Amino acid sequence: MDRRVCMGNEAIALGALKAGVTVVAGYPGTPSTEIIETFVREKAPNVKVQWSTNEKAALEVAAGAAYAGARSMATMKQVGLNVAADPLMSLSYIGINGGMVVAVADDPGPWSSQTEQDTRHFAKYANLPVFDPSSPEEAYEMVQAAFDISEEFGIPVMLRPTTRVCHASAEVMTEEAQSPGPISGFQKKPDWTIFPALSYKKHGELEAKQEKIARRFDSLVFNSLIAGGRRGVAVSGISYLYAREVIEEFGLDVTLFKVGTPYPMPKDMAEKFLSGVESVLVLEELDPVVEEELLLMSFGRVPIFGKRTGHLPPNGEYSYEIVRDALFSYLGIDAQKTEQPFMPELPKRPPVLCAGCPHRASFYEVKAASKNANKVIYCGDIGCYTLGNAAPLNMVDTCLCMGAGITLAQGLKLAEPDSKCIAFIGDSTFFHTGIPGVINAVYQNTDITLVVLDNHTTAMTGHQPHPGTGRTATGEPAKALSIEAILAACGVEHIAVVNPFDYEKAVDAFREAIDFSGPSAVIARAPCIFQTKKPATVRRVNDSCIGCLKCIKQLGCPAMTPGESGKVTIDESLCTDCALCSNVCPVGAIKRSGRDA
Amino acid sequence: MRKSVIIAGVGGQGTLLASKIISEAACARGLFVRTSETIGMAQRGGSVSSHIRIDAKDASPVVPSGHADIILGFELAEAARQIPRLAAGASGVVNMDCIVPTNVALRQGVYLCDEYLSILRERLPGGIFINGAPIALEAGDARTLNMVILGAGIGSGVLPFTEDEVRRVMRRCIRGGMLSVNERALELGMEAAARECR
């Protein structure tokens, strides 16, 4: 036994290693990314780890390994599960041989996501059991139990941590990883091939399993009843810790039903809970999953309060404060009014493109190249470059989901033929779901311009490799797929590759591509600033600065601020000498200089 | 006894490492520790905060409002932003250097340097206020601001850990080549706190 402080995502990976996992596949996405990164760091012998092209690929790779009897795991964020939904729905019918855990991180808030969808609902929709950890130490135990349950019932099991579990740390008692046992190997049988007649049979079997799993869950330690007063409180996930702190701090007398498996609900335990209380308050983030299960079971016997009754918010993450106020109101406790201290106005501080980010140059150049067009629509996508939406760039008019920019641009162009529609996509997103959209543009001959912002990494999630980088998750050399060759193979007839820091050439290349009739593409290629060493030179503003602030107003570079003298100052600890500002300055006041800092 | 620490800063300032060192030091002392971090989109120059709760098994990983015993402010406005989380009698170390957000430079919103400083001084009567950036540069790397603040925290007694405890964790958490510059920053931070306390 080893006592260590573990992040939730780390605990999930260590728990899976303890359970003897052999094959792990995922696609990066906040807040799930560090699960795979922990497997990479641990370098466990005989465990195969990969960053897959996308979540669908990851889930199918993990399923194949589980068909052959290996224990396997797929990891992703909640919106990644939408991409992997197709294999998941069929896999629940077909089932697996070796234990398979699908770890899907939800993001209440949301902090770094497009949606606040609830994976517990997805699990229920797919008829798959789901574990909802309340803490890193519980996640470590749960993932091991999830493998056992998966093998016992022959179906994948879902683990749904949320941001405050994934990115929280706690003391975890870890045990030695188990080296994977011998793998039974793939056994040929008709049941691996989905056909309507088989689906009918398997659907019936799957439904029959639900009741059995619900009974099995009664015996798991993750579900518990902490007896107290006649007022009941049911909690799932991180809300458990918020509730525990409030209950202890204020000495509240309630009966607490901790739900570790929201679907299927532990049946006898839920019945026992409902028969021992006069009412129930449900504390769970995102959708009212536990609330609805309890409503169905109680069938009007016991009033159930929660999101459906307006006692708790339907969106956003919960907190100690939200849980405290809900408990006070439920128990009729007068909340002491805390005096709000005076606070001066604070600046908003949204995330921004880094100083020296090549995307800023590309956005600025595309803006310059398209300034004479009648109407231009800039379709963005998911990644650091979504931050190009902010002033002063204002270069993201749409952003929907991974890979959607290319295809949204085509629809916009069809509806507004006189507009110029320009789609931006990052290199990792291009491989993830961009390519089918390119093929569609060529096939339909829709006149859009695609800008691939190729910084040679998956930057936003922390610089993971992808099929274009020439290395695998574990750092092994790999064949580097060429984006220009793929575009050419897809039939794109105008393809240019530019360095976005070569200002004049880049603007010309963007202009030519926009003027080209038919689908065109420009690959703007320069490494993410985190992938290269800072140069020994920086840009410095000299005395000829007239204080017009054009550089700041047009670029919004975080290294530049208006100084007290009215002239611009550049923070040398942030500057990477990208020189974009020198191209903007009307009086040539920004020059290269040696770095002091 | 339960202690809640909040670290406030701007994405990229190294709050995560400071949080890791504090939580590891608490764990090494046998105390149950929980933390919660801002990881993801906000790391690109946005507001970030790390929450550390020591001796806190059945408690939220996020420091509730009015519960923070200690604040380490890496940036002035970000420290001020966390005032509602401070407990009565809280103590802290605040870096007085200002990072003015790009949107303020674009004339959206305000940055009220003097007001943030005066309200923080009022709420943290025994607080340590330093200019950390030049100290980090003196140590040899602007990125060691986190160790300067940590040093000021232990040097002033704001953080309940000894220099030895922190150094032991640093040796485990910081890569070989970067260790000495970080240790130098820790020492300079301790000296700065000693000057302030005098």
| Residue type present at position A78 | Q
Q: Are A280 and A303 in contact (CB under 8 A)?
A: yes
How far apart CA B56 and CA B33 sit, in angstroms, is 6
**What tokens were used for A195?**
């056909």
Burial tier of A224 (Cβ tally within 10 Å: 0-12, 13-18, 19+):
middle
B66 contacts chain A (CB < 8 A): yes
How are the residues of chain A apportioned to helix, strand and coil, as percentages rounded to the nearest 5? 40, 20, 45
Q: Which of B29, B41, B52, B74 to mutate to test the interface with A (most CBs of A within 10 A)?
A: B41
- Mean of all residue pLDDT scores within chain B: 94
The residue ranges of every structural domain in chain B are 3-131+158-171
What would be the CATH architecture of the domain defined by A358-531?
Answer: 3-Layer(aba) Sandwich (3.40)
A336 contacts chain B (CB < 8 A): no
A556 contacts chain B (CB < 8 A): yes
Across the interface, of A241, A340, A351, the residue whose CB is closest to B58 is A241
Q: Are B168 and B131 in contact (CB under 8 A)?
A: no
How far apart CA A170 and CA A446 sit, in angstroms, is 53
Q: Are A120 and A287 in contact (CB under 8 A)?
A: yes
Residue written as tokens 């100084």?
A563
Cβ pairs bridging A and B (under 8 Å)? 168
B42, pLDDT greater than 80: no
pTM over 0.95: yes
Cα radius of gyration (chain A): 27
Instruction: Give the pLDDT confidence score for residue A83 in this predicted structure.
Output: 98
The Cα of B22 is separated from the nearest Cα of chain A by a number of Å equal to 11
Report phi then psi at A429, rounded to 5: -70, -35
CB within 8 Å: A344 and B112:
yes
Could you report the per-residue pLDDT of A51-76, keeping only the tens digit for each? 999 999 999 999 999 999 999 999 99
Which residues in chain A are classed under CATH 3.40.50.970? 2-182+194-217, 358-531
Torsion of CA A511, A513, A516, A521, to 10 degrees: -170
Q: Are A434 and A112 in contact (CB under 8 A)?
A: no
List, in sequence order, every residue forming a beta bridge with A48; answer none if it has no partner.
A23
Low-confidence ranges of chain A (pLDDT < 50): none
The share of chain A scoring above pLDDT 90, in percent, equals: 93
How far apart CA A513 and CA A506 sit, in angstroms, is 11
Which residues in chain B touch residue A581, judged by CB atoms under 8 angstroms apart? none
Across the interface, of A324, A347, A597, the residue whose CB is closest to B109 is A347
Which residues in chain A touch residue B41, judged by CB atoms under 8 angstroms apart? 30, 111-112, 351, 460
Instruction: Give the pLDDT confidence score for residue B1 in this predicted structure.
Output: 85
The correct answer on CATH 3.40.640.10 for the domain covering A537-594 is: no
| Residue type present at position A560 | M
B198, pLDDT greater than 70: no
**What tokens were used for A517?**
């009739």
Cα-Cα-Cα-Cα dihedral sign, residues A211, A213, A214, A216: positive
Q: Which of A41, A256, A321, A346 to mutate to test the interface with B (most CBs of B within 10 A)?
A: A346
Residues whose CB is less than 8 angstroms from the CB of residue A161 and which lie 6 or more positions away in sequence, other chains included: A8, A9, A12, A31, A103, A105, A106, A133, A139
Which DSSP letter does residue A431 get? I
Between positions 76 and 105 of B, the ones with CB within 8 A of A are 77-78, 80-81, 83-84, 100-105
Describe the strand order of the beta sheet including B128-130 as a list of residue ranges: A2-7, A168-174, B33-36, B47-54, B3-10, B68-73, B86-95, B128-130
The Cα of A572 is separated from the nearest Cα of chain B by a number of Å equal to 10
Which residues in chain A touch residue B137, judged by CB atoms under 8 angstroms apart? 597
Q: Which of B6, B23, B32, B39 to mutate to test the interface with A (most CBs of A within 10 A)?
A: B39
Q: Say how many C-beta atoms besides its own lie within 10 A of residue B151's C-beta.
A: 31
Residues composing chain B: 198
- pLDDT band per the 50, 70, 90 thresholds, residue B29: very high
Cα A381 to Cα A396, A452, B41, distances in angstroms: 8, 11, 14
- pLDDT band per the 50, 70, 90 thresholds, residue B38: confident
B194 contacts chain A (CB < 8 A): no
Burial tier of B1 (Cβ tally within 10 Å: 0-12, 13-18, 19+):
exposed
CB within 8 Å: B44 and A354:
yes
Report phi then psi at A374, rounded to 5: -60, -55
The Cα of A196 is separated from the nearest Cα of chain B by a number of Å equal to 43
Q: Are A302 and A274 in contact (CB under 8 A)?
A: yes
Q: How far apart are the first and last CA of chain B?
A: 28
CB within 8 Å: B103 and A350:
yes
Report phi then psi at A506, rounded to 5: -65, -45
List, in sequence order, every residue forming a beta bridge with A102; answer none if it has no partner.
A74, A158
Nearest to B142 by CA among B168, B181, B115, B171: B181
* Residue A136: closest C-alpha in chain B: B34
B196 contacts chain A (CB < 8 A): no
What would be the CATH architecture of the domain defined by B3-131+158-171?
Answer: 3-Layer(aba) Sandwich (3.40)
CB within 8 Å: B80 and A560:
no
How far apart CA A553 and CA A233 sit, in angstroms, is 53
* Residue B32: closest C-alpha in chain A: A171
B173 contacts chain A (CB < 8 A): no
Cα-Cα-Cα-Cα dihedral sign, residues B63, B69, B74, B78: positive
| Residue type present at position A146 | A
How far apart CA A262 and CA B147 sit, in angstroms, is 43
Cα B19 to Cα A113, B8, B35, B189, distances in angstroms: 24, 10, 8, 16
The Cα of B65 is separated from the nearest Cα of chain A by a number of Å equal to 8
Element counts in chain B: helices (H) and strands (E): 8, 6
How are the residues of chain B apportioned to helix, strand and coil, as percentages rounded to the nearest 5? 50, 20, 30
The Cα of A565 is separated from the nearest Cα of chain B by a number of Å equal to 14
The correct answer on CATH 3.40.50.970 for the domain covering A2-182+194-217 is: yes
Instruction: Give the pLDDT confidence score for residue A178 in this predicted structure.
Output: 79
Q: Are B110 and A343 in contact (CB under 8 A)?
A: no
CB within 8 Å: B103 and A171:
no
Which residues in chain A are classed under CATH 3.40.50.920? 224-331
B131 contacts chain A (CB < 8 A): no
Q: Are A540 and A590 in contact (CB under 8 A)?
A: yes
A566 contacts chain B (CB < 8 A): no
Instruction: Give the pLDDT confidence score for residue B197 in this predicted structure.
Output: 76
B28 contacts chain A (CB < 8 A): no
Which residues in chain A touch residue B59, judged by CB atoms under 8 angstroms apart? 241, 244-245
Of the CA atoms within 13 Å of residue B36, those in its CB half-sphere come to 19
How far apart CA A576 and CA A531 sit, in angstroms, is 12
Pairing between β-strand A304-305 and β-strand A279-283 as defined by DSSP bridges: parallel
B156, pLDDT greater than 60: yes
Distance of alpha carbon A190 from its chain centroid, rounded?
A: 36
Which residues in chain B touch residue A320, judged by CB atoms under 8 angstroms apart? 60, 62, 64-65, 67
Q: Which of B19, B67, B102 to mutate to test the interface with A (most CBs of A within 10 A)?
A: B102
How far apart CA B179 and CA B167 sit, in angstroms, is 10
**What tokens were used for A250?**
């204020």
The Cα of A515 is separated from the nearest Cα of chain B by a number of Å equal to 33
Which DSSP letter does residue A385 get? G
Across the interface, of A241, A348, A558, the residue whose CB is closest to B60 is A241
Which DSSP letter does residue A307 get? T
Query: What ipTM did this prediction achieve?
Result: 0.95
Report phi then psi at A527, rounded to 5: -70, 150
Across the interface, of A5, A348, A561, the residue whose CB is closest to B105 is A561
How far apart CA A359 and CA A387 sit, in angstroms, is 9
What would be the CATH architecture of the domain defined by A224-331?
Answer: 3-Layer(aba) Sandwich (3.40)
How far apart CA A216 and CA A169 sit, in angstroms, is 30
**What tokens were used for A198?**
């088989």
Report phi then psi at A3, rounded to 5: -95, 120
CB within 8 Å: B27 and A3:
yes
